[in-house]
A = this chain, B = another copy of it.
Amino acid sequence: MRLSIQQLKSFCTDCLMKSGLSIEAAETGADVLSVTDSWGIHTHGVKNLRGYIRRVQAGGIRPNGVPRIEDQSSSWVKVDGDAALGMVAADFSIRQAVQKAEQCGIGFVGLRNSCHFGAAGYYSWIAARKGCIGVSMSNDIPTVSGPGSRGPVLGSNPFSYCIPTGDDRPILMDFATSTVAGGKVFAAAARGESIPEGWIVDQDGKPTQDPGKFPNEASLTPMAGHKGYGLALFIEVLSAVITGAAVTNQVLSFAFEDASLPTNHGAAFIAIRPDLFMGSGLFQTRIHSLIAEIRSVPVAEGSEQLGMPGDREWNYRERSIRDGIEFPEAVQKEMELLSEEMAIPFS
């Protein structure tokens, strides 16, 4: 199956509207998912829509949830996600951060009572399109061990940023604080392959190469050991401890746990105007000079030219715009099931 980005977005919008979301909320969620797939990040795109919709139908995600400002000052906002679709709450929140940054240079937004929000990088990109450096992060159910622990301690708590460059290729980074994302382990299990040592540890805290043990009998390892663990902890504090969201084991899985309950994910967003300290022309000169310098670095035999974070996503998106998107088999299966269940065709 090959769909244009618009076809994919339209399918997602239809599914979300049919589950009870307003057209605005449905389009917001659909945009996040279709952009994510257009970047080639199929682990976080339409693949998860069926799970979100199951949760909407059971009440754990409120179809008419409206994120609202609980409290604010000149530079920060506290948002109650109202158990709306995570994308709706996160989209609302990053826009608040940008507004604050436009007014006073930097904006910080804490979000509680949200749900799984998909790819963190999407929200950072919103900020970049509005001329700000955007930072987005979130907590999630614990799937990642700490150094030496037997079981999961923290979520794969993603960190992302996007830096505007004045053209349509902002610098875009989005990474899980685990060695690899859980999706890669699931994918290996689905293919019946073993995984490299170091990706996961079993219930005794020992390395295992059997992806089938994850997540029930194994946990992901933190990226770069104690460094990734420390970064994930920082994200947990900013996203959940200070916002009032659920912390670690209190968070519910959007996919696997009682769909009638709100998951209460937390997230944090920062927007910074890159021209705070100099004119925006000078900032652009400086960022492009850095980009050019890095792209011209000599590379090892057999290695590709050193790129910018986001290159892969922007190249993929260019192809997606031109040729449409093809999906991995497992994603396509989910899409077909959803299409059937909702009686909504791919048009």
Contact = CB atoms under 8 A, between A and B. Distances in A.
A300 B242 contact: no
B277 A71 contact: yes
In this complex, the member of A73, A230, A278, A298 whose beta carbon has the largest number of chain B beta carbons within 10 angstroms is A230
A149 B305 CA distance: 8
Nearest to A172: B230
A108 B273 CA distance: 11
A3 to B, nearest CB: 29
Interface string A146-166: 111111010000010101000
A204 to B, nearest CB: 6
A224 interface: yes
A147 to B, nearest CB: 7
A299 B148 contact: yes
A293 B241 contact: no
A88 interface: no
A179 interface: yes
- Interface size range of chain A in the complex: 35 or more
A304 interface: yes
Contacts of A301: 204-205
B151 A298 contact: yes
Contact of A233 (B105, B286, B309): B309
Contacts of A50: none
Contacts of A275: 242
Contacts of A276: 76, 78, 108, 110, 242
Contacts of A297: 146, 149-151, 153
B75 A75 contact: yes
A247 B149 contact: no
A74 interface: yes
Interface string A214-235: 0000000001101111110110
B151 A237 contact: no
A147 B320 CA distance: 26
Nearest to A71: B277
Interface of A: 70-71, 73-76, 78, 104-106, 108, 110, 112, 133, 146-151, 153, 159, 161, 163, 171, 173, 175, 179, 201, 204-206, 223-224, 226-231, 233-234, 236-238, 241-244, 247-249, 272, 274-278, 283, 286-287, 289-290, 293-294, 297-301, 303-304, 306, 308-309
21 contacts: A71-B277, A74-B75, A76-B276, A108-B276, A110-B277, A112-B277, A147-B306, A148-B299, A148-B300, A148-B306, A150-B297, A161-B234, A173-B234, A175-B227, A204-B300, A224-B227, A226-B309, A241-B286, A241-B287, A242-B276, A248-B293
